Amino acid sequence: MSSPEWKNPVIKWVDTRLPVFSLMHHSTAGYPSPRNLSYWWNFGSLALTVLIVMVLTGIFLVMNYTPHVDMAFDSVERIMRDVNYGWLIRYVHMNGASMFFIVVYVHIFRGIYYGSYKGPREILWILGVVIMLLMMGTAFMGYVLPWGQMSLWGATVITNLFSAFPIVGDFIVTLLWGGFSVDNPTLNRFFSLHYLLPFVLFAVVGLHLWALHSVKSNNPLGVEIKQPEDAIPFHPYYTIKDLFGMSLFFMFFLFFVFWAPNFFGEPDNYIPANPMVTPAHIVPEWYFLPFYAILRAITFDFLWIIPAKLGGVLAMFASILVWIALPWLDRSKVRSARFRPVYKWFFWVLVADFVFLGYLGKMPAEQPYVIMAQLATLYYFAHFLVVLPLMAKLEKSVELPESIAAAVLKKGDA
């Protein structure tokens, strides 16, 4: 699918000097996609859509927000009460964060199920992990901005984690705080970074897409495009499919905005931040809960060298960083779980384990939850470090179809 001969003289003139039209053609009508992508493949473009929605609503929020400990809370309430449609912009932004994580979690686990991280898509996958880390940082700092009780105390708990690192720990924490406690300088730097990071996100998403357009989409069969019949142009087929999915997704998204805007939030964050009063339970936003559970699961010193707190922090970071090694931990030649009868089951156990960790992250740090979190954490790492490498050796996969077209057309005939 080479670039077309432009007939319109203006388009042709521009395109020879700056090939924007060729670029657009290459990434739409000229971009071959597997013909068999399921609706699980909608979530990538959905994630980009939510990112755009977040940036747009964020820009309007900033016009009315005051990043100062004495005024931040009231300025948010002013947006809610006095700014025209301020409540709508803020509720879209607030729920948008949850939507972003819902969409991205589906996107990630879809990639895990269909082996989308395997060669030649390793860099595509790793860029995805970087995006996830950037999102988590951005979301965490955004949650601090309304300067409610959970903003202040969540920030205190999470930034304190860095003090666990030997030697540099206290230095890092002081640097994050801009002082010796979470206070105005902290709010200011978090605000600055919360505005900056989404643009870094855009850049990494650009790389993610660049890599995608080079290696092309994986698909439910996990068999590469081998011949022209395997592929269809992205436009119009997947543009319309993405648009339909997007419209459906917006109904889900906006249901929360209009009817349950505080469903995902903590009521405590409607209490202005007060350094003198600690909330009874400090819980992070729901999308951090599985990692929070892993953090709290390490209640014991590890090998007498690593104290429990540092162990927890390391385990939490490792639980995401292990995704980077995924392409090399899972050496099975077969991508899609469809043709991996054993892996398929372990995938769902991993999903259940992850959801269970999320539940435990919400529970108080007491028995029996602690031991459950420890077992769930152990299993989480065992899945990646033991089960996957072993399975690559032991599992007998089902025979793969010859090509996408062969599988799709046969199914059609039957």
| Closest to other proteins by CB, 11 or 243 | 243
Find the shortest distance in angstroms from Cβ 277 to other proteins: 10
| Closest to other proteins by CB, 251 or 394 | 251
E strand or H helix at 122: helix 122-144
If binding is defined by CB under 8 A, does position 88 make contact with other proteins?
yes
Find the shortest distance in angstroms from Cβ 79 to other proteins: 11
Residue 231's DSSP bridge partners are 34
If binding is defined by CB under 8 A, does position 39 make contact with other proteins?
yes
If binding is defined by CB under 8 A, does position 362 make contact with other proteins?
yes
Contact between 297 and 370 (Cβ < 8 Å): yes
- Read out DSSP for 148-175? BHHHHHHHHHHHHHGGGSTTTHHHHHHH
- Say how far apart CA 20 and CA 3 lie, in whole Å: 11
The residue within the footprint of other proteins, chosen from 167, 180, 199, 247 (CB under 8 A), is: 247
Is residue 399 annotated as part of the catalytic site, yes or no?
Answer: no
Contact between 32 and 231 (Cβ < 8 Å): yes
- Say how far apart CA 136 and CA 351 lie, in whole Å: 19
Considering only 254-262, 308-316, 323-331, 380-388, which stretch makes contact with other proteins by CB under 8 A? 254-262
Q: What is the DSSP letter of 269?
A: G
If binding is defined by CB under 8 A, does position 145 make contact with other proteins?
no
**Active-site annotation holder among 22, 27, 181, 213:** 213
The count of residues interacting with other proteins (CB under 8 A) is 54
Contact between 143 and 285 (Cβ < 8 Å): yes
Tokens standing for 24? 């657009």
The contact pattern for other proteins, residues 365-394, with x = CB under 8 A and - = no contact, is -x----------------------------
If binding is defined by CB under 8 A, does position 273 make contact with other proteins?
no
Considering only 35-43, 60-68, 169-177, 179-187, which stretch makes contact with other proteins by CB under 8 A? 35-43
Considering only 121-129, 201-209, 280-288, 303-311, which stretch makes contact with other proteins by CB under 8 A? 280-288
Considering only 56-64, 81-89, 306-314, 334-342, which stretch makes contact with other proteins by CB under 8 A? 81-89
Contact between 316 and 288 (Cβ < 8 Å): no
Contact between 292 and 362 (Cβ < 8 Å): no
If binding is defined by CB under 8 A, does position 348 make contact with other proteins?
no
- Say how far apart CA 287 and CA 268 lie, in whole Å: 17
| Closest to other proteins by CB, 213 or 362 | 362
Compute CA distances 339 → 120, 222, 400, whole Å. Answer: 19, 9, 7
E strand or H helix at 231: strand 231-233
Considering only 53-61, 72-80, 138-146, 163-171, which stretch makes contact with other proteins by CB under 8 A? 72-80
If binding is defined by CB under 8 A, does position 109 make contact with other proteins?
no
Backbone angles phi, psi at 254, to 5 degrees: -75, -20
Q: Count how many Cα atoms sit within 13 Å of the Cα of residue 379 in the half-sphere of its side chain.
A: 19
- Say how far apart CA 238 and CA 44 lie, in whole Å: 12
The contact pattern for other proteins, residues 188-227, with x = CB under 8 A and - = no contact, is ----------------------------------------
- Read out DSSP for 272-308? BP-TT---S-----GGGHHHHHHHHH--S-BTTTB-H
Is residue 213 annotated as part of the catalytic site, yes or no?
Answer: yes
Q: Report the catalytic residues.
A: 213, 217, 241-242, 285
Q: In the complex, which residues of this chain contact other proteins (CB under 8 A)?
A: 35-37, 39, 74, 77, 80-81, 87-88, 91, 98, 102, 232, 236-237, 240-241, 243-244, 247-248, 250-252, 254-255, 257-259, 261-264, 267-268, 270-271, 280-281, 283, 286, 289, 355, 358-359, 362-364, 366, 408-409, 411-412
